[in-house]
Amino acid sequence: MTLRRRKSRRSRAVDALRAYLTVKAAGKAAKGAKKAAKGTVAYQAAKRAPRPRKLPLIAAGAAAAVLVAVKATRRGGEPASA
């Protein structure tokens, strides 16, 4: 049986602040990715296209925003275990 050291109040507060800032940074990265996707030629062309042709581009933009957000949250952390 291993003994676990309890974290101090200050250490817990620092960890909570670090997690909060990581989430905020990921949100800002996703917002930036969304703005960048909206500036692309493909998005501008799709905006003028009929509705069924827009769906794949909108889905691709959303996927790109999610990937950027995930990458921002995992940066500096432990690698994901599969």
> What's the pLDDT at 5?
84
d(CA 42, CA 72): 25
Residue 10: both structure tokens together:
């200050």
d(CA 40, CA 46): 10
The answer to whether 71 and 32 are in contact (CB under 8 A) is: no
pTM > 0.75: yes or no? no
* Per-residue pLDDT tens over the stretch 16-58: 999 999 889 888 888 888 877 777 777 777 777 666 666 676 7
Q: Could you tell me which of 53, 31, 30, 51 has the C-alpha nearest to residue 42? A: 53
Q: Could you tell me which of 63, 59, 70 has the C-alpha nearest to residue 29? A: 70
Residue 82: band (very low, low, confident or very high) from pLDDT cuts 50, 70, 90: very low
> What's the pLDDT at 15?
92
